Structure 1
Amino acid sequence: MKQGSLFYDPSSERMDIRFGLESYYGGLHCGTGMDVLINGKWVPTRIELGEDWYLVGIKTDNISGLVVRL
Structure 2
Amino acid sequence: MKQGALIFDELTDRYDIRFDLADYYGGLHCGDCLEVFTGGKWKPTRMEYGDNWYLVGIRAEDLNGLRVRI
Give the structure-2-normalised TM-score: 0.97
Moved over 2 A (4+): none
Q: Which runs of 5+ in 2 are unaligned?
A: none
Q: CA deviation at 1:8?
A: 0.5
1:28-47 mapped onto 2 (5 Å cutoff): 28-47=28-47
Q: CA deviation at 1:61?
A: 1.0
Matched residue count: 70
Structure 1 counterpart of 2:18: 18
Give the structure-1-normalised TM-score: 0.97
**TM-align CA RMSD:** 0.6
Distance 2:34 2:27 in 1: 13
Structure 2 counterpart of 1:61: 61
Q: Deviations over 1:22-52 (max 9, x none)?
A: 0000000000000000022000000001111
